Amino acid sequence: MDKIAIIDLGTNTFHLLIVEVKDGEEKIIHKEKIAVKLGEGGISEGNISKDAEERAVKTMLYFKDKINEEKVDQVFASATSAMRNASNGTEVMQRIHDETGISIELISGLDEAKFIHKGVKKALEIGPEPALIMDIGGGSVEFIICNETEVFWMQSFEIGAQRLLDKFHKHDPILPKDIEKLDDFLRKELADLKVKMDIYQPHHLIGSSGTFDTLIDINYLQKGDDKPEDVAFSLSLEDFDRMFNEIIQKTREERMEIPGMIEMRVDMIVVAVCLIQFLIENNEFIDIKVSTYALKEGLLDAIISDELKLS
Whether domain 3-106 has CATH 3.30.950.10:
no
The two domains 3-106 and 110-295 share their CATH topology (first three levels equal)? yes
DSSP H or E run through 251: none
Paired strand residues for 35: 13
Whether residue 195 contacts residue 274, with contact meaning beta carbons closer than 8 Å, is answered with no
Which H or E element spans position 17? strand 13-22
The predicted-structure confidence for 24-62, as pLDDT tens digits, reads as follows 789 999 999 999 999 999 888 999 999 999 999 999 999
Tens of pLDDT, residue by residue over 203-236, are 999 999 899 999 999 999 999 999 999 999 999 9
CATH classification of 110-295, choosing from 2.30.110.10, 3.30.420.150, 3.40.50.12660, 3.40.50.1370? 3.30.420.150
Q: If you count them, how many residues does the chain have?
A: 311
Residue 29 vs residues 2, 5, 57: alpha-carbon distances, Å: 11, 10, 23
Ordered by start, the domain boundaries in the chain are 3-106, 110-295
Residue 124: alpha-carbon gap to chain centroid: 17
Q: For the residues of 184-201, what is the DSSP string, one character each?
A: HHHHHHTHHHHHHHHHH-
Rounded CA gap, 173 and 250, in Å?
5
Cα separation, 51 vs 245, whole angstroms: 34
Q: What is the mean pLDDT of residues 112-140?
A: 97
CA distance 112 to 155: 9
Tell me the pTM: 0.94
